[in-house]
Amino acid sequence: MSVVSRTVAAIPVRTSVATWKAVADLLAPAGSAARGRLDAVTNIAAVLITAEYTRQAPIVVIPASGPRIRIRTAHGLDAAEAQAGEIPLAVSPCAEPGWIMSLPCGVDDIEEIRAALSRHPGIQARDVTDGITVGEPAEGAAAGGWSIDYEEMERP
């Protein structure tokens, strides 16, 4: 499976709502059905962007065909640099029906966000820590006692 990654400048370069609009611009053309679905979750996505969950873990889009898309946001001083390097996608991954999206969310907010997204089929929230385990350092693991489960990172 191939993956395409992008970084979108967020706060303070853009508001969280404007950041979500920039993400939506990457994924679907204005006026399309997919864009309507993305626009419908603007407020929910803006909350996740403001909390910087999208900096910690990517927004993942699995289109009906084509490569998986991962979008992260850059915040603070990194945002200005990221804006200069923003690259559009070659195609609109949400142009064809059948795409799904996974938004990262902190465990403290996940139940509320999942409830809000329940009215938006194909768009779900996942725990921002999925794929990261904390415990005793394994031989050769990072000194902080954490490791990354790369197979888990492939999940939507």
What confidence score (pLDDT) does residue 152 get? 58
At residue 156, does pLDDT exceed 90?
Answer: no
CB 36 within 8 A of CB 100: no
pLDDT digits (tens, 9 = 90+) for 123-132: 999 999 876 5
Cut 0.85: pTM above it:
no
Share of the chain above pLDDT 70, in %: 83
What confidence score (pLDDT) does residue 30 get? 92
Structural tokens at position 106: 């902190």
pLDDT digits (tens, 9 = 90+) for 49-92: 999 999 999 999 999 999 999 999 999 999 999 999 999 998 89
Phi, psi of 123 (to 5 degrees): -125, 120
For the chain, the domains span: 3-128
CB 124 within 8 A of CB 117: yes
In this structure, the chain runs to a length of 156
Higher per-residue pLDDT: 37 or 132: 37
Residue among 3, 121, 119 at smallest CA distance from 59: 3
What confidence score (pLDDT) does residue 150 get? 60
